[in-house]
Chains A and B, each alone.
Chain A
Amino acid sequence: MADQVDLSVSLGRGLRLRSPVMVASGTFGYGFDAHGADRTALGAIVTKGTTPGAREGNAPTRIAETPSAMLNAIGLQNPGVDHVVRVYAPKWATWDVPVIVNVAGDAVDDYVAVARRLDGVAGIAGLELNISCPNVANGLQFGVDPRMAAQLTAGVRAVTRLPLLVKLTPNVTDIVAVGRAVEDAGADGVSAINTYLGMAIDIRRRRPVLSRGSGGLSGPAIKPLALHAVWELAAALRIPVVGVGGITTAADALEFLLAGAAAVQLGTVNYVRPQAVREIHDGIAAYIAAHDLRHLGALPIRQARVEAHV
């Protein structure tokens, strides 16, 4: 019975996913080394953050486990947008799962350059603006100031017809203000949230564990925080909210969908249980079927604004 449940979802501007289960930027590479992950259960792949030129990333140590979470400071290691267009996109064009490129940079011009380069390229289904990377110089600046976030979104909107998600940082006082700003600037949806700034210290060596001192915290520890952000954003925005942060089980994903998320992204769990994509997809389908809900749009606890994205 769960097989007949309609799990499709629209993220706006023609971007329709057959499943609400996406994989989060940085946790699935460019989709080519997905050991054990079942692509047929995936709604979309969001790629590693991609910059105009190739980047080598930060010095080690880049990751550390903390209670029910992990810190990372990878530093946007990526091959650059030209490589993505020449080598990856032609392969994506043959896949039956949409690929959304996460776009990163240090300045508005970087984001605009990457977006312009990707516009109209076969195999690219959408963009996700990373205005919230804590691990590069200036990475957070666009995400913490509603005016700058809007300026960046508008700049990219002007050069692309692709569906445009903006990934918000939780390292702000008022995430809803940033969400509203990017909505008004032309975003088709927001992804909430990116990692929380955090750190760990090696008491034996008396220095931070990560080479950059701090990094981004992800994993089950941040799930209640992410859920709260999604709950607030879903109530305030007209565009879809994609929930991300510590989702490990179908029950976790359902909490986000009930909170008003149109779709979810799996992140850290991809490192541990590649089969989680399939398990969570099937768990959502079973829940919808068991509760006789017919489709995902019936899930959100507060129904007021969801019609726009189902």
Chain B
Amino acid sequence: MSLALAPAVVVQRSTPMRDAIELVVHHPPSAAAVKPGQFFQLAVAAPQTILRRPYSAAWADPQGGRIGFIFNVVGAGSGWLAVRHEGHELDLLGPLGRGFSLEGERPVICMAGGLGVAVFPGVVQALVARKRRVTMLLGARTSSQLLPADRFTGADVLTATDDGSAGYHGSVVNLFTSTLRGRVGVEAVDILTCGPTPMLQALIENVRQLGLPLESIQVALETPMGCGVGTCLGCAIPRAGGGYLLSCIDGPCVRADRIDWGRMTDAFHG
């Protein structure tokens, strides 16, 4: 694993969709090393915070030495990050963890709920570069919270909103199911997904009902994390068959059949 422990500089800050911030940082070694789905541990200096915050790279531009991070404000750490501006330094540790496996030739469905979309611009770009057919399913509460479709060049983009203000009126999982129903060859797709645990649960149930193998799904997990490098053992995920995976080193991108979804619900939902 190549690790960068050096300041990166914020070169751009924007609002790519409502309630979200995108920071673009300049850090050539990280931009060259990161793979789609990997994350960085970002140091934050908000009062009374101590731990780094894990964020997936939204995309990377190795030639320009830049990485993008997309996030929303959920607490003190993200609140501090949200007020970083051009010229501010960021302390990145990474890239860390396992990204998505992009091998294969089958069509790919990418499915994002809410801020889970933050990992997908770079994933879709890498898939399209591999000449794979990509359908990007985006779910949000309302149209203004959808990342614009032009962030997914080369993919078919379908949207779902809870309030029906754009695209399919309903959940992105229902959009997924109705998209697949009756389609020839649905058993021969790969599914990459990231989103809230209830969305993942619904996806898993639907996939089982459709008779698709869980092996065809890869999930980018979002769990509380301590060190990010496998030392603190804080980011345990229930493993199918017993015991635990660590989100930081066995993931964050994990094949869905490796997870015990029943125990996952107990831990992170309800």
A contact set with B: CB distance below 8 Å: 26-29, 33, 35-36, 48, 56-65, 67-70, 72, 74, 77, 205, 211, 219-220, 268, 270-275
Contacts and interface: CB of A to CB of B under 8 A. Distances in A.
Given A59-B238, A272-B43, A272-B52, A27 B5 contact: no
A27 B234 contact: no
| Binding site secondary structure of chain A | loop
| Binding site secondary structure of chain B | loop
Contacts of B267: 59-61, 211
Contact of B50 (A57, A59, A77, A219): A219
Given A36-B3, A272-B43, A56 B244 contact: yes
Nearest to B232: A271
A275 B5 CA distance: 9
Interface stretch (B64-72, B126-134, B177-185, B219-227): B219-227
B48 interface: yes
> Which of B226, B231, B232, B270 has the most CB atoms of chain A within a 10 A radius of its CB?
B231
B236 A271 contact: no
B5 A63 contact: no
A77 B232 contact: no
A280 to B, nearest CB: 16
Interface string B99-113: 000000000000000
Given A211-B267, A271-B232, A68 B48 contact: yes
A67 B47 CA distance: 8
Nearest to B230: A33
A68 B50 contact: yes
B51 A56 contact: no
B233 A57 contact: yes
A27 B238 contact: no
B177 to A, nearest CB: 28
Given A56-B244, A77-B244, A29 B236 contact: no
A220 B48 CA distance: 9
A121 to B, nearest CB: 23
Interface of B: 1, 3, 5, 43, 48-52, 93, 223-238, 242-244, 263, 266-268, 270
A60 B268 contact: yes
Given A65-B49, A270-B231, A59 B5 contact: no
A79 to B, nearest CB: 12
Given A56-B244, A59-B263, A271-B52, A74 B233 contact: yes
B232 A63 contact: yes
Contacts of B270: 205
16 contacts: A56-B244, A60-B223, A60-B224, A60-B268, A62-B233, A63-B225, A64-B224, A69-B50, A70-B50, A77-B236, A205-B270, A219-B50, A220-B50, A270-B227, A271-B228, A271-B231
B73 to A, nearest CB: 16
A268 to B, nearest CB: 7
Given A36-B5, A65-B49, A70-B50, A29 B231 contact: yes
Contacts of A27: 231-232
Contacts of A60: 223-224, 235-238, 244, 267-268
A147 B232 CA distance: 32
A28 B263 CA distance: 28
A56 B236 CA distance: 10
Given A69-B50, A272-B52, 10 more contacts: A27-B232, A29-B230, A36-B3, A56-B242, A60-B224, A62-B234, A63-B235, A68-B48, A72-B234, A270-B227
A58 B267 CA distance: 11
Nearest to B231: A29
A65 B50 contact: yes
Contacts of A77: 233, 236, 244
Contacts of A57: 233, 236, 244
Contacts of B237: 60
Q: Across the A-B interface, give the 4 residue pairs with the lowest CB-CB distance, nearest first.
A: A63-B234, A271-B227, A67-B48, A60-B267
